[in-house]
Amino acid sequence: MPIPTDHSKPVRKTAKESAFNQLQQWIIDGTLQPGEKLNDKELAEALGVSRTPIRESLQLLEAQGFVKMYPGKSTQVTEVEEESMADLLPPLAALQALAAELAIPHLTDQVILLLEHTNERFAQAVRSKNYFVALKIDEEFHQIIVDTANNPYLLKMIPSLQSHVRRLFFHNSIVLTEESIEEHTALIEYLKERDAAKASESMRRNWLRIIKEFHSLVCE
């Protein structure tokens, strides 16, 4: 099982948090492939931790649906199910739309500037066809709004759904386009205007459009 050695090691996190975040990222981006068997000893050595936080992390990943543990046998990365896109995106779109609405009272000039700067970086990545980076920046953009909404339940629920969507994006080579840039720009304008209804609907459309694009990609 090839394990990268050039990964970044987060600071100020427990061994379990650090291990969980890194293992989840490897599963999402395909470093750990669907169906691959995981060896807790090898993972512990690669991450520089004991086997206990690795085992605890694998239990959390199983609860989230990223791995399947077979007691006494093995632990495997779960398969990527293309049909789950239509199940994942509507609830994520609804929660993201709510986040946009709830963010309105907490918006500051600094937040707006950060959104604009992040969308500029996103546009550069899309136009240079650096789609892997574009996906990461798109996630940053949406996370700014979720963080600004400052709702503890959204902060817990959205990352779980979004991590599965991200995995589908990576494994199905979903490409974010100029249309996504324009949708982000429109969303920022609605936030500036403090128009909660339009910001919410704009956010929802931004996510749900991907279902149609995904189906078109699969049918090609």
- Whether residues 141 and 49 share a domain: the answer is no
Q: Is residue 8 part of a domain?
A: no
pLDDT of res. 214: 67
Enclosing domain of residue 117: 82-219
pLDDT of res. 10: 44
- Whether residues 47 and 143 share a domain: the answer is no
Q: Is residue 52 part of a domain?
A: yes
- Residue that the structure tokens 């996630």 belong to: 139
pLDDT of res. 152: 95
Cβ 137 vs Cβ 121: under 8 Å: yes
- Whether residues 95 and 133 share a domain: the answer is yes
Beta bridge pairs of residue 74: 70
SS3 content of the chain, % helix, strand, coil (to 5): 70, 5, 25
pLDDT of res. 74: 87
Number of domains in the chain: 2
pLDDT of res. 47: 92
- Whether residues 97 and 20 share a domain: the answer is no
Residues of the chain with pLDDT under 70: 1-12, 173, 213-220
Contacts of 24 (CB under 8 A, 6+ apart): 61, 64, 66, 163
Task: Return the ∠ at Cα 169 (arms to 164 and 175), rounded to 5°.
Answer: 155
- Per-residue H/E/C for 141-202: HHHHHHHHHCCHHHHHHHHHHHHHHHHHHHHCCCCCCHHHHHHHHHHHHHHHCCCHHHHHHH
In the numeric block, which tokens belong to residue 138?
Answer: 């798109």
Q: State the pTM of this model.
A: 0.81
* CA 27/CA 36 separation, integer angstroms: 10
pLDDT of res. 37: 94
- Whether residues 161 and 109 share a domain: the answer is yes
Q: Is residue 28 part of a domain?
A: yes
- Whether residues 116 and 95 share a domain: the answer is yes
- Whether residues 137 and 192 share a domain: the answer is yes
Q: Is residue 104 part of a domain?
A: yes
pLDDT of res. 3: 57
pLDDT of res. 216: 57
